[in-house]
Amino acid sequence: MRLDRPTTVSAAVKLCSKAEFPNVHVLLRIACTYLLHRASAKEPSKAACIRYTRSHERQWLRIADRLSSLALIHIHYDMEIDLDEVVTIFSVKEPR
């Protein structure tokens, strides 16, 4: 039995089960918001587009970095972690 695939992001959000695929559901909602935001903008300047794109790239890179860290934690869940050492390393990298 072949299911019909949605042709738009908003249709995909409606079909995506929030209970079964919570992360996919959130990503689709973000995509809808982003597309609506871009469609409603009035011919922004090239500089504004570049600033907007770069700021969002940084956000996505931070999210990707966190996801990579979570994946590593999950992969190495059986390792013992010395919390004092983690705090020391973190305090050196982030002095504030």
pLDDT of residue 44: 59
The total number of structural domains that make up the chain: 2
What secondary structure does DSSP assign to 34-90, as a single string? HHHHHHHS----HHHHHHHHHHHHHHHHHHHHHHHHHHHHHHTTTS---HHHHHHHH
57 and 92 housed in the same domain: yes
Interval 44-80: pLDDT, tens: 566 776 777 777 777 777 788 888 877 887 887 788 8
> How far from 82 is each of 26, 85, 86, CA to CA, in Å?
34, 5, 6
Average pLDDT value for the chain: 77
Q: What is the pLDDT of residue 46?
A: 67
24 is in which domain, residue-wise? 1-40
60 and 20 within one domain: no
Query: Same structural domain for residues 33 and 53?
Result: no
State whether 49 and 16 are in the same domain. Answer: no
What is the reported pTM? 0.35
In percent, the amount of the chain with pLDDT more than 70 equals 81
Task: Tell me the residue length of the chain.
Answer: 96
Q: Within 13 Å of residue 14, how many CA atoms lie on the same side as its CB?
A: 7
